[in-house]
Amino acid sequence: MTPRPPNPRPGFTVGEVLIALAVLATAATLSAEALLRTAAERSRFDARMEAADAAANVLEATRVRPWDDLTPEWAAAQPVPAALARWPDSKLTVRVEPERDRPRVKRVTAEVRWERKGLAPWSVVTLTTLVAARTSGGKP
């Protein structure tokens, strides 16, 4: 048996290259998945912040309205704020209801929900305020 001459160019075998490529592909897949989840979470966070702002703006608008004008018809006529327009699946609902056991007090609720067909639902943003009738000259 003749001795083998030493390999003049040592390098990686095909098996080692395949293992390295598999590890690299796995790391790239996990990184891409983490990036997509982060982007989705950021989108959800932005939508919730804009929904909270829109609901707060509606409730602030109730404070400048005369108490008698706060009716279910007024609530139904509230337009969708421009901030929510960029979220086409969002829906703003405003309700005006008399407060039980408290005459001359109304409960105003602004609610934003998302109707995401085929996707996991996002949590609903609900803000509520109580508005009391103002007195004039000491008389309610």
The model's pTM: 0.70
Query: What is d(CA 60, CA 25) in angstroms, rounded to the nearest whole number?
Result: 52
Query: What is d(CA 40, CA 28) in angstroms, rounded to the nearest whole number?
Result: 18
Grade residue 115 by pLDDT with cuts at 50, 70 and 90: confident
Summarised one tens digit per residue, pLDDT across range 25-51 is 999 999 999 999 999 889 889 888 999
User: Each residue of 99-120: b (16+ CB within 10 Å) or e?
Assistant: eeeeeeebbbbbbbbbeeeeee
Summarised one tens digit per residue, pLDDT across range 70-95 is 999 999 999 888 878 787 788 899 99
pLDDT score for 44: 85
pLDDT score for 138: 42
pLDDT score for 137: 46
* pLDDT cut 70: percent of the chain above it: 91
